[in-house]
Amino acid sequence: MSPRIVLIHAIEMAINPIVRAFEVHWPEVEIVNILDDSLSRDRAKSDVLDCEMMDRFLKLGDYARSIDGDGILFTCSAFGPAIEAVAKQHEIPVLKPNEAMFSMALKQGKNIGMLVTFENSIKVMSQEFDEMAKTINNDAILDVILVKDAISHLKQGFIDEHNRLIAQTAKELKDCDALMLAQFSMANAWKSVSEQLDIPVLTAPDAAAKLMKEKILE
């Protein structure tokens, strides 16, 4: 029987990129998608992950386990502490959306760039990156740029404009050793960005799918 991986999303646009990543890197696995788009709306209203939000994540984790999930991957990048709380409750692999990508980027060099489309994720992701850097590459420096309006275009279905804005902004980080596209929903812009730069461009879905496979099969 194939392992069952539960993907938990806060925006609908994150679903296709990670499903495609698993189709490429681990096609045999069974995928279950859980979407609660109120998470992103409520997170945008506050800089703080309060007790109510933490409890919502714990319940999502419990549900994923109750349907026999062998691994849980959260694709929402602004909820790190809540995801860590879920991981402590379960013995199966529970992954934050960007931990695999961070690990890959930190092995590329000292100067790492990151483009972000969801502003409230910047603080949490920067903290997570700095924590991981302490064990992988203590000299690493993270340069973060918010791509304004990109996510609004994506929500309206204007994918080409979303990708264009990201690729245009990416030029500002051309001297970095690697560039990360922070949100899962940014994966569609990978080709446009890669054509602009001569450095590795990393996406969270591909890295996360590879890491989940590694953890389940080890």
Domain of 73, CATH number, reads: 3.40.50.1860
Please answer whether residues 211 and 190 qualify as being in contact, where contact means their C-beta atoms are separated by less than 8 angstroms.
no
Structure pTM?
0.88
Say if residue 64 is in the same domain as residue 154: no
Q: Which domain holds residue 140?
A: 99-204
Do 91 and 12 lie in a common domain?
A: yes
Residues 43, 115 within the same domain: no
Instruction: Determine the pLDDT at residue 165.
Output: 97
Write down the pLDDT at residue 77: 81
70 shares a domain with 24: yes
213 and 190, same structural domain? no
Both 212 and 124 in one domain: the answer is no
Q: Quick one: 106 and 200 in the same domain?
A: yes
8 Å CB contact between 107 and 42: no
**Which helix H or strand E contains 74, and what residues bound it?**
strand 71-74
pLDDT in tens, 144-181: 999 999 999 998 999 999 999 999 999 999 999 999 99
Question: What is the DSSP secondary structure assignment for residue 70, as one 8-state letter?
Answer: S
Model confidence pLDDT, tens digit, residues 113-130? 999 999 988 998 999 999
- Stretch 130-144: mean pLDDT, rounded? 96
pLDDT in tens, 39-97: 989 988 887 788 999 999 999 999 999 999 999 999 988 898 999 999 999 999 999 99
Token pair belonging to 31: 């995928």
Tell which phi-psi region holds residue 173, choosing left (phi > 0), alpha (psi between -120 and 50) or beta.
alpha
